[in-house]
Amino acid sequence: MKTSRNNLFEPQHVKAALLQAFIKLHPKVMIKNPVMFTVEIGTLVMAYVTIYSITHKGEGSPVYNFAVFIVLLLTLLFANFAEAIAEARGKAQADSLRKTREETPAKALNAEGHIELRSSGMLKKGDLFLCEAGDTIPCDGEIIKGIATIDESAITGESAPVIRESGGDKSSVTGGTKVLSDQITVQVSTAPGESFLDRMIALVEGTSRQKTPNEIALTILLSSFTIVFIIVCLTLKPFADYANTPVTIAALISLFVCLIPTTIGGLLSAIGIAGMDRALRANVITKSGKAVETAGDIDVLLLDKTGTITIGNRKATHFYATEQVTEDRFIDAAVLSSLADETPEGKSIVELAASIQSGKVWQAPEGAVFIQFTAETRSSGMDTPEGRSIRKGAFDSIRKKVQRAGNTFPVDVENHVKNISSNGGTPLVVVENLEVLGVIELQDIIKPGISERFERLRKMGVKTVMVTGDNPLTAKFIAEKAGVDDFIAEAKPEDKMNYIKAEQALGKLVAMMGDGTNDAPALAQADVGVAMNSGTQAAKEAGNMVDLDNDPTKLIEIVEIGKQLLITRGTLTTFSIANDIAKYFAIVPALFIASIPGLQKLNIMNLHSPESAILAAVIFNAIIIPILIPLALKGVVYKPIGASALLRRNLLIYGLGGIIAPFIGIKLIDLLVGLFV
Amino acid sequence: MNTEILGVIAVYLLTLVIAIPLGKYLAEVFAGEKVWTDFLKPVEAGIFKLSGINPKVEMTWKEHMKALLTINLVWLVYGFFVLMHQDKLPMNPDGNPGMSPDLAFNTIISFVVNCNLQHYSGETGVSYLTQHFVLMFLQFVSCATGIAAAVVLFRAFRDKTTQNLGNFWDYFLKSITRLLLPLSLLMALILAFNGTPTSYEGQDQFISLQGDTVNVSRGPAAPFIAIKHLGTNGGGWFGANSAHPLENPNYLSNSVELIAQVIIPIAMVIAFGYYIRRRKLGWMIFGMMTLGMLLLLIPMIASETAGSATIESMGISQATGAMEGKEVRFGPAISAYWSTVTTIISTGSVNNMHDSSMPLSGAWQLLGMMINAFYGGCGVGVLNYFVYLIIAVFISGLMVGRTPEFLGHKVESREVKIAAIITLLSPFLILAGTALATYVYTNHGTADWAVQPSNWLNNPDFHGFSELLYEVTSSNANNGSGFEGLADNNIFWNVLTGFVLLLGRFLPIIGPVAIAGILGAKKFIPESAGTLRTDTLTFSLMTFAVIIVLNALSYFPALVLGPLAEYFTY
């Protein structure tokens, strides 16, 4: 579903948004946005004044009043359009997701275990259904029986099929994905229409979007500014009467609309929706807008080592044979011990051997017995009929067995073991009939570019913590190499939880990613818990976001989206307020110049006439909204350069820029308007 | 550089020399650390025992505000009745009459709220008893109220997370015993030796050179004038305030009074930094306040020393600057400095008549009171600045992409709501109050009142508008200075300014203390690279910009119609 960064203004979106802009004029909708609601009232008053001025004198010419009315109406429409286009884009994004979950027939299993065909919309939580090769999975669920390869490209865009099986951490399937082989029995985990995806779709479409705490606080502040300007404009009437200056209603309303923060007021909800949309484009499903915002605040980020910091699993990188045996014999034994080993480590040993021995293929001898790895023996291997008993395993457990059998553990092997450990690798000792042959070095491969990402996080003020089951020595080595700030070694599930709690007790916000059921408590405890889409249902329920790509470094993007959301609001607020200075210099002299000619000196922009000055100010006020829509949708760029430097930068651009831009804009519009007035 | 300017610089530097160590001292006093004035402890213990107060009981911000409001209400009721019936009470050698209810209402409010608007004249309006035991008493306790409220705010940020903000009575009493009383005593002595009366006898008489018999009011004025300045009260013993030769006899007394009114406001800012162990923040706030002061002071000195072009065109020499309404013994430069500090901090005492200031000076005086946070009144200056700071924290927090936080506490919608209401309050009171006055003046000028509204103003036109605006602004800022030229002792003005005074005092105290209390109780978040530090120059300038922009946007039209129209027209 990965969409390319599409055009901001797709024609079909614009068309839908234009219609919505008018529909949203309904006062019931408008009142949710107090700032723009006051503009709507002003517009209605202007409509009345326009009609009134046709038959009465003293309120200016009807044409002029009508012009003001039109500009105010445009201001409203522009603001509505901003929200509508954000919604339209979100909706399009959501529709492409929804396509994946069109009505599909489900092979539901009834109480007797018989298959009956049912529409996916009829499935309820807890129902069972069957999926065979070629079937599209009708809704989200958990495999309770069987194993299957599944094509998840509809959701993740990743074409390689993945394996999902009952039990364990890879048991969850997503509606819309396709079973490629085998047969699975799935239990419905969320009824259609209530899944994360459905929730996200509702969020992006704006239907169930609730204001986030920061958004509420900002709305309060903007409302109070609006009230201040209501007071300023209402009291201006008696002030003007005192000064014997008639002030027209058109002028007062124009002044009011120019002063109140319409720019940010008009764009506020568009910014919020666009933020959710960006999260969705990053293939992250969030349960609430608040979660995205919180992501921008996090201080600590917990990351699993495997798959996040390092590529997949450890790989064999070296064979070190003891001096007593030939390398060939050692490699031969190492391979035999790993032939039946399905773990990635085991496979990598065979691969490495094959590359050293230029493509040699090993066959297990007839009648050989494979010994599986157990936590007790901490070794695995193979017993051949001719009496060879080959084992590979952890250094200390093998050494114990070797010494118990009365054999000596060769010093050179022991040295290799030490070297490997101190280089962050994992040594696997290979023995045949309890005689040491050598040691295999397994190494973690750190993902390219990962340390740059950690550096970026550090500059944002986020501390990264690596979680690994490795011993502290190995963990430390990898942590240093990858550039993480801290690590939890030999981590048990409860260690993650404790670490999160300890950081939270210090007042920090913690984010983590997880997929397993045993991650669920920690995901719930974390302030931002991101579950992998491939993870278990429990993990997905516990977290507040789901990453469809199963990409553990996705958190970095989420943090940036969260920050961008706040920055966009903050900078546009600053811009909006800073604009007022120029508007004052346009309108206030215009209001009083007739009776107090001295105030001409305040007309520093040298505007054409009082009427053109006021029109220029309201026109600027209106068109700045559509001009800023692209910025609101794309978000203000976040640069991790430290808070003070970022503040300086944004203050210069949006604060100082906000003061200067309208002086230029209003002057230009005035020159244009002056041609007609 | 001429000596007048040097005088201003010297007075300011001397102020700093006293205020900075005083700030460190205050931080120690309120933190309960050992200080050299601890010998007063038994006295304080005695007072607490007498009043049945345990000063060790910790209070939440709500309990603090309850205590503060209760005691203020008691003073209000007590003073109201004493002022109304002062003619029947002792210590009234000049036989001054009791106050009318509306004047008593206005006067008592104005003294309780640390404003001292004074719609009466000290010589004829009050007795020695009321001067002493109502007005001077209130000058002490209203100032101590402000300081105690500020210390509650300090306390909220001293520890990481706390609800216990110390004891109100403890802060309150210490403000008096450790700060106001000793300093007032010292200053009263200096004034007495410079010729300020300190006597309980009634009016004196002399025959002037023209042969007129002149009655000269006297009284125990020196201590009153001391606390009037130290406590940023501003209410004069005599009607002419510190322009009166007995209230402010010479350049030395003038300097002492100037220094006295600024030291505690500055010391409180320094104390904030020391008390919460973030000295840099204290210095930054001090720096911004000083910047604000300079931006008002320099143009004011320039316009006052330059004099009026209109008078110049009449062929009258103005070698000494604009001298109308100024005392010859002070001159325009130090008078402009006085006008600046008396309006930016909420003293409101005057040594020259603001009504006669140059038009632009009038604008700066008004702006100083509208902002009311460049140093500001005793304690309340820091509180006012804090509200601006919270708004700045919120907007800049968003701009750096993090939920805004101040000193490790998240600033969320509840705090923003309170800050927004307080920010809203001043424009509302000032503009609505002025609008009401102009409405009555324009439309009901001939109303059948004791003083007809059309007779309110000595100078109609733009200057008259400034007079109306100034009166309401001064009330809202709890400043107390007047543009004068306004007939203000009548029911309309007594009642209107009475309500503006009350609202303009207590809401801006409760608001910031509430914000601080709520923030202090929140979880403490340690700093990270993403945290926006509030003690940097960038952030401080942001706060400064917020102050300027908010006030400019609220008051620009009003200032245009008053002083600016006057400036551009004449």
Calculate the average pLDDT of chain A: 85
The residue in chain B having the minimum alpha-carbon distance to the alpha carbon of residue A223 is B420
State whether A241 and B439 contact (CB < 8 Å). Answer: yes
The residue out of B227, B249, B277 marking a domain boundary is: B277
State whether A221 and B533 contact (CB < 8 Å). Answer: no
Between these two residues, B460 and A580, which has the higher pLDDT value?
A: A580
| pLDDT value of position A43 | 96
Q: Return the closest-CA partner of residue B282 out of B485, B72, B86, B19.
A: B19
Asked if residue B336 belongs to a domain, the reply is no
pLDDT tens-place string over residues B53-110 = 999 999 999 999 999 999 999 999 999 999 999 999 999 988 899 999 999 999 999 9
The residue out of B277, B309, B333 marking a domain boundary is: B277
Q: Return the closest-CA partner of residue A522 out of A489, A554, A545, A499.
A: A499
Asked if residue B470 belongs to a domain, the reply is yes
State whether B530 and A570 contact (CB < 8 Å). Answer: no
Flag whether residue B551 sits within 8 Å of chain A, measured between CB atoms: no
**Structural contact between residues A608 and A674, judged by C-beta atoms closer than 8 angstroms:** yes
Average pLDDT over residues B427-444: 95
Strands A426-432 and A435-443: antiparallel
| pLDDT value of position A2 | 39
State whether A259 and B553 contact (CB < 8 Å). Answer: yes
CB nearest to A232's CB, from B403, B427, B524: B427
> What separation in angstroms does the CA of A180 have from each of A106, A177, A415?
16, 10, 49
Question: Measured between beta carbons, which residues in chain B are less than 8 angstroms from residue A598?
Answer: 565, 567-569
| pLDDT value of position A1 | 37
Whether residues B53 and B186 fall in one domain? yes
CB nearest to A508's CB, from B395, B525, B561: B525
Tell which B residues from 232 to 291 touch A, by Cβ distance under 8 Å.
none
Identify the band that residue A5 occupies on the pLDDT scale cut at 50, 70 and 90: very low
Whole-angstrom distance, CA of residue B431 vs CA of residue A239: 9
Phi and psi, residue A309, nearest 5°: -90, -35
Asked if residue B179 belongs to a domain, the reply is yes
pLDDT tens-place string over residues B509-552 = 999 999 999 999 998 888 877 788 999 999 999 999 999 999 99
pLDDT tens-place string over residues B112-142 = 999 998 899 888 899 999 999 999 999 999 9
**Structural contact between residues A149 and A161, judged by C-beta atoms closer than 8 angstroms:** yes
Identify the band that residue B43 occupies on the pLDDT scale cut at 50, 70 and 90: very high
In a 3-state reduction of DSSP, which class is residue A173?
strand
Count other C-beta atoms under 10 Å from residue A577's C-beta.
25
Asked if residue B109 belongs to a domain, the reply is yes
Question: Measured between beta carbons, which residues in chain B are less than 8 angstroms from residue A600?
Answer: 568
Average pLDDT over residues B155-178: 94
Between these two residues, B537 and A201, which has the higher pLDDT value?
A: B537
User: What pTM value is reported for the model?
Assistant: 0.87
Identify the band that residue B243 occupies on the pLDDT scale cut at 50, 70 and 90: very high
State the catalytic residue, choosing from A135, A304, A547, A580.
A304
Residue A519 Cα, gap to closest chain B Cα (Å)? 25
pLDDT tens-place string over residues B300-347 = 999 999 888 888 888 888 888 888 889 989 999 999 999 999 999 999
Whether residues B109 and B255 fall in one domain? yes
Whole-angstrom distance, CA of residue B371 vs CA of residue B384: 9
Q: Is B322 exposed, middle or buried (0-12, 13-18, 19+ CB in 10 A)?
A: buried
pLDDT tens-place string over residues A83-103 = 999 888 888 877 776 666 556
The answer on whether A341 is annotated among ligand-binding residues is yes
pLDDT tens-place string over residues A466-495 = 888 777 877 888 888 888 889 988 887 788
Q: Return the closest-CA partner of residue B406 out of B532, B269, B541.
A: B532
**Structural contact between residues A240 and A592, judged by C-beta atoms closer than 8 angstroms:** yes
Q: Is A304 a catalytic residue?
A: yes
The answer on whether A515 is annotated among ligand-binding residues is yes
Whether residues B434 and B561 fall in one domain? yes
Number of compact structural domains in chain B: 2
Asked if residue B366 belongs to a domain, the reply is no
**Structural contact between residues B335 and B248, judged by C-beta atoms closer than 8 angstroms:** no
| pLDDT value of position A207 | 57
Flag whether residue B413 sits within 8 Å of chain A, measured between CB atoms: yes
Q: Across A204-218, B170-184, B396-410, which has the greatest mean pLDDT? A: B170-184
- Domain holding B492, by residue range, is 379-569
Average pLDDT over residues A351-374: 80
Q: Return the closest-CA partner of residue A418 out of A490, A275, A320, A504.
A: A320
Tell how far CA A86 is from the center of its chain: 17
Q: Which residue has the tokens 């979100």?
A: A90
**Structural contact between residues A478 and A445, judged by C-beta atoms closer than 8 angstroms:** no
Residue type present at position A274: A
The residue in chain A having the minimum alpha-carbon distance to the alpha carbon of residue B415 is A217
State whether B526 and A506 contact (CB < 8 Å). Answer: yes
**Structural contact between residues A163 and A148, judged by C-beta atoms closer than 8 angstroms:** yes
Q: Where are the alpha helices (DSSP H) in A367-492?
A: 395-404, 411-422, 450-460, 472-482
Whole-angstrom distance, CA of residue B237 vs CA of residue B222: 9
Tell which B residues from 282 to 341 touch A, by Cβ distance under 8 Å.
none
The predicted complex's ipTM stands at 0.93
**Structural contact between residues A667 and A605, judged by C-beta atoms closer than 8 angstroms:** yes
What single DSSP character describes residue B451? S
pLDDT tens-place string over residues B462-475 = 999 999 999 999 99
pLDDT tens-place string over residues A207-220 = 566 778 888 899 99
**Structural contact between residues A476 and A489, judged by C-beta atoms closer than 8 angstroms:** yes
Instruction: List Cβ neighbours of B552 (8 Å cut-off, separation of 6 or more).
Output: A581, A584
pLDDT tens-place string over residues A244-274 = 888 899 999 999 999 999 999 999 989 988 8
Q: Where are the alpha helices (DSSP H) in B307-379?
A: 309-313, 332-344, 359-371
Between these two residues, A334 and B148, which has the higher pLDDT value?
A: B148
**Candidates A614, A647, A649, A656, partner chain B, best to mutate (most B CBs within 10 A):** A647
Identify the band that residue A206 occupies on the pLDDT scale cut at 50, 70 and 90: low
Dihedral sign from CA coordinates of A650, A652, A653, A659 = positive
Q: Rounded to a whole number, what is the largest CA-CA distance in chain A?
A: 117
**Structural contact between residues A268 and A211, judged by C-beta atoms closer than 8 angstroms:** no
**Candidates B402, B414, B454, B527, partner chain A, best to mutate (most A CBs within 10 A):** B402
Half-sphere exposure of B179 (CA within 13 A, CB side): 35
pLDDT tens-place string over residues A394-424 = 888 888 888 888 888 888 888 888 888 877 7
State whether B435 and A218 contact (CB < 8 Å). Answer: no
Q: Is A226 exposed, middle or buried (0-12, 13-18, 19+ CB in 10 A)?
A: buried
**Structural contact between residues B187 and B152, judged by C-beta atoms closer than 8 angstroms:** no
Least confident of A152-166, B210-224, B283-297, B379-393: A152-166
The C-alpha R_g of chain A, in whole angstroms, comes to 34
The C-alpha R_g of chain B, in whole angstroms, comes to 23
pLDDT tens-place string over residues A535-570 = 777 778 788 888 887 776 788 888 888 899 999 999
- Kindly tell me if the per-residue pLDDT of A194 is higher than 70: no
In a 3-state reduction of DSSP, which class is residue B41?
helix
What is the full DSSP assignment across A67-94? HHHHHHHHHHHHHHHHHHHHHHHHHHHH
Asked if residue B433 belongs to a domain, the reply is yes
Asked if residue B257 belongs to a domain, the reply is yes
CB nearest to A299's CB, from B399, B436, B528: B528
The answer on whether A379 is annotated among ligand-binding residues is yes
**Candidates A228, A585, A652, partner chain B, best to mutate (most B CBs within 10 A):** A228
Tell which B residues from 168 to 197 touch A, by Cβ distance under 8 Å.
none
The residue out of B218, B252, B277 marking a domain boundary is: B277
Asked if residue B141 belongs to a domain, the reply is yes
Q: Return the closest-CA partner of residue B436 out of A231, A228, A594, A250.
A: A231
Identify the band that residue A155 occupies on the pLDDT scale cut at 50, 70 and 90: low
pLDDT tens-place string over residues A43-81 = 999 999 999 999 988 888 899 999 999 999 999 999 999
| pLDDT value of position B80 | 96
